[in-house]
Amino acid sequence: MNLFFYFCKKNNMLKILNKFVVLQWILTLALIILSAFFIFESSNIVPSTGFPILYQGIFDFMSHSVIGYRIFVLVILITTLILIQVYFSKNKFTQKQSLLPSLFYLILLLISGLIHQIGPIFFTNFFIIIILILTESYFKTNSKSQLFFSGFIIGISLLIDPASSLLFLFIIVSMIINTVISYKDILIVLYGIITVVIYLISFYYFTDHIEWLWSNFRQIKMFSLFNAPIILKPIEYVMIPISVVIFIYIVMKINSVFETKVIVMRKKIITFNTLIFCLLGTFLLSYCSTHDFIGYLFVPVCMLLSIFSQFKNRFFIYDILIILFIIGLWV
């Protein structure tokens, strides 16, 4: 019995995953293959009604070339994973290289069902990680071009999911946290967003389709949280509060650990907290299904789970918390 408890203390799921990078590679590649299988065999795109013009264009592309669309989705997925790894590695959230962010991101996509119903949230996650990388680069180089491109990316994202407008708020608050902000910086980000609008209007004006653009704009819908009934299964009334409590604990634990770190690392965690609060705001704006709202948080959550998994873990406690959290998203 003593040997059993000693084994449990010294060996657990998270410790084994963190210790063997080869195992991380095997699991990540296996989940990528599984995701690719679902993308090509059973994935569908969320209908474009109520969404902006670029998402409607993606939907039309799917209707004309299913294979081309699915290849496009797979490329977006793999690119998102690569960017998540780049951001996580550059910020040195862990002492050694880890593929856990990609592993957790794939798990979240698969268990939530978002891989089966590709919609605006899937593409918004791609833009979220790009924004994180651009803002992080700006904090290090103070290059105004990074701010412009951040605004430009938000402008493109708005043409797929208007709820991503809150990324603008994230950029402003993250600049306040990490650097000295001026009104010129805010104007540069706005200029990036407006540039997308100018290009869009110019294209449809010179092709004599400006009225079609206006009709598309008028049909955009938002606030599904307030307009659609929320129907939960009995098990969800139990698991959702458990997942919320676990997530709050994970965030608080990470914050308490990083309180002892240097100021740069503390700012990075505060920036993560800011992103989470802004993305929670997308729940209020989004027209996506309320059951898919959690997908907006997948980029920061996969990194937070990866950081949390590094902490000392006795008797599988953190393993159990992460498993319960994931089950809460699955049911």
pLDDT of residue 117: 85
Average pLDDT of the chain, as a whole number? 84
pLDDT of residue 7: 43
Query: How crowded is residue 141: how many other Cβ atoms within 10 Å of its Cβ?
Result: 10
Task: Write the pLDDT tens digit of every residue in 162-182.
Answer: 888 999 999 999 888 888 788
Task: Write the pLDDT tens digit of every residue in 79-101.
Answer: 999 999 999 888 888 777 888 89
* Domain boundaries along the sequence of the chain: 2-330
pLDDT of residue 75: 93
What ranges in the chain are assigned the alpha helix state H?
2-10, 13-19, 21-41, 53-64, 66-90, 100-112, 120-141, 144-158, 166-178, 183-206, 210-218, 224-227, 234-258, 263-285, 298-308, 317-330
Task: Tell me the mean pLDDT in the region 301-311.
Answer: 87
pLDDT band at 17 (very low <50, low <70, confident <90, very high): confident
Residue 76: is its pLDDT beyond 80? yes
Q: Which residue has the tokens 């008028």?
A: 218
- Supply the pTM of this predicted model: 0.90
Residue 298: is its pLDDT beyond 80? yes
pLDDT of residue 313: 66
Environment class of 288 (CB within 10 Å of its CB; exposed 0-12, middle 13-18, buried 19+): buried
Task: Write the pLDDT tens digit of every residue in 196-234.
Answer: 999 888 888 888 878 887 888 888 887 877 777 777 677
